[in-house]
Amino acid sequence: MELPPKKKTSLMWKALGGVVAGGVAFLVVDGYLADPEPVSAPDRTITLEVSSLPRMTGEQRTEYLATLSTIDQGLVVNEDRAVSRGESTCLDIQQGVPEGQVLKNLEARITEGDTTVKVEGAALILDAVKAWCR
């Protein structure tokens, strides 16, 4: 007995069949890997204590800026920045940072501004901060 001749399947149908089979396989695997229920964040509130930055009063600010201007006029070109850096230095002091490190931090803060102050100037600025920082 003779078998009927095989039908030739076009290359396009073979490619389409491969794409469909791949898509089905992807969906099956994806279904096994996916979580059935999304995980939600725990329902609780976390409260963190944040140290408040020490703030100068109006009179302290005036005296502090006057002292800085006698050290170098460039220190007070931007008064708000100068005050902010003084308050950050006060926070270092209040947190018990060793004075040598406070001076290094202060020198780095000031150098970013309109002037560069070396260790001697940083020591004078630190004295100005200590005058109001408690």
| pLDDT tens readout for residues 21-60 | 555 555 555 555 555 555 555 455 544 444 577 899 999 9
- Within 8 A by CB and 6+ apart from 10, the residues are none
- For residue 57 the two structure tokens come to 């009063």
pTM above 0.75, yes or no: no
- Within 8 A by CB and 6+ apart from 115, the residues are 72, 73, 74, 75, 77
